[in-house]
Structure 1
Amino acid sequence: MDMSLKIEQGEETKRQILKVARKLFGKNGYNNTSIEDIYSSLNLTRGALYHHFSGKKEIFYEMCRVYNHELVQELENWDWREFRKRWSETLDLTEDKNFVQIWIKDLASVLNAKEMSQLDEESIEKSITVLLEGAIRNGSIRKIPTKEASQMILGMLNQALLVLSELEGDSLLRSKKNFIKVMNLFLDSLES
């Protein structure tokens, strides 16, 4: 068998494992999803799954890493004006039950603080930092420490998502409106 074809098939198997795991973790939660659930959903053997991943936690981490990269793909094309106009769309993630299960309910109990920080740093925080650096260069915002500012923005977004995921009805609408107001005041303070 051609080696490049074998590598390509292996990468496809890995993508399928992550896709199925994301669906199962989102639907059932991390604790209620077993390795057996994942490999049997794909008609794989246990050995085939362990060829790609050392266990369920590694699958969860890699699935989160891939999901983060998906979330920032659009953000990477935004300038400051687009970010100001659209950042609040992030809060709509609380309407996605799978997102809430994985990112709000399970993440902190599965991964340690260093692992969670690493996930944020390599994609979302990095993208916000690049966005802020571009905004400084074109004069949209004043010169600020971009790494720390991106960490603040990400922290505010994460906290808003956490709080909003627990609310519904009028309380949800009121809090969402208030989070948008507060974040916009913070973003206003960065502008030149």
Structure 2
Amino acid sequence: MKMSKAEQKQQTMQKLIEVAREMFSKKGYADAAMEDIVKQAGVTRGALYHNFGSKEGLFEAVLASVQQEIGERVEAEAARSEEPWQQLILGCLAFVSSAVEQRNKRILLIDGPAVIGWEKWRRMDEENSMRHLREQLQTIKEQGYLRPVSIDALTHLLSGAMNEAVLWISETPDQEKSLEEISAAMTLLLEGYRSK
């Protein structure tokens, strides 16, 4: 059965995103050559420009894909518990452990702000990770689990702490040990906001 033009376009876009993600995570945005990306994806340079407009447009699509994947993993991990407070802890720890992965950290936290600009990166972060975090905090507050605190302030505080934790873990020689230390510290930090 022959694919429709829309299906072909979607398949081409997905292939370019997959190949570019691998190259951006291994080489970094600056050293990932467009020619290598299109060659490995088996498409023309014109297809890349037609679907994404530029290398930066492709990178932005890759970044959005990484954010979506991490968001899904956070939600899946949080769903392992029925208890709202435990969902928050599991979700925060899932974000850190997902973001620190080799295939994610450079795209998400190093090249992301540099390539698309700090304001756009923050907007994308707010639409993804921070939105989910804010929703969970709001739910916890409504259920009486959270001490009196501004949800917006706490969302930004926790988001910044988690992003910085990922960068710190990435630079340590024993990342597994560092991840355990961050998990313990994050759990203690969150418990300080718990009301019951």
Q: Scaled by the length of structure 1, what TM-score is found?
A: 0.85
Q: Partners of 1:73 and 1:146 in 2: how far apart? A: 22
Distance (Å, rounded) in 1 between the aligned partners of 2:122 and 2:110 = 17
Using the TM superposition, give the Cα deviation of residue 176 of structure 1 relative to its aligned residue in structure 2, in angstroms.
4.0
Tell me how large the CA RMSD over aligned residues is.
Answer: 2.4
Q: Which among 102, 127, 143 is matched to residue 138 of structure 1?
A: 143
Residue 38 of structure 1 corresponds to 37
Q: CA deviation at 1:56?
A: 0.8
The answer to which structure, 1 or 2, has the higher relative contact order (CA under 8 A, 6+ apart) is 1
Distance 1:118 1:144 in 2: 23
Match of 1:151 in 2: 156
Aligned to 1:126: 131
Contact 1:57 1:110 in 2 (8 A): yes
Task: Count how many residue pairs are aligned between Structure 1 and Structure 2.
Answer: 188
2:99·2:108 contact (CA, 8 Å) conserved in 1?
no
SS in structure 1 at match of 2:149: coil
Name the TM-score, length of structure 2 as normaliser.
0.83
Contact 1:94 1:164 survives alignment (8 Å): no
Taking the aligned partners of 1:17 and 1:89, their CA distance within structure 2 comes to 27
Alignment of 1:18-167 (within 5 A): 18-76=17-75, 78=78, 79-85=84-90, 87-93=92-98, 96-167=101-172
Cα distance in structure 2, aligned partners of 1:111 and 1:55:
12
Amino acid at match of 2:182: F
Separation in 2 of the partners of 1:151 and 1:97? 25
Residue 179 of structure 1 deviates from its aligned partner by 3.1
Q: 1:179 aligns with which of 168, 173, 182?
A: 182
**1:191 equivalenced with 2:194 (yes/no):** yes
Give ranges in structure 2 of 5+ residues lacking alignment. 79-83
Mean CA deviation greater in 64-73 or 175-184: 175-184
Aligned equivalents of 1:130, 1:6: Cα separation in 2: 38
Please identify, of 88-97 and 118-127, the stretch whose mean Cα deviation from structure 2 is larger: 88-97
Q: Which amino acid aligns with 2:190?
A: L
Which secondary structure does the structure 2 equivalent of 1:82 belong to?
Answer: helix
Aligned mates of 1:91, 1:63 — CA distance in 2: 19
Q: How does 1:6-17 map to 2 (within 5 A)?
A: 6-17=5-16
Q: Which amino acid aligns with 2:152?
A: K
User: Structure 1: 5+ residue runs without aligned partners?
Assistant: none
The structural deviation recorded for 1:172 is 6.8
The answer for the alignment partner of 2:81 in structure 1 is: none
| Aligned-pair CA distance for 1:74 | 3.6
Aligned-pair distance for 1:99? 2.1
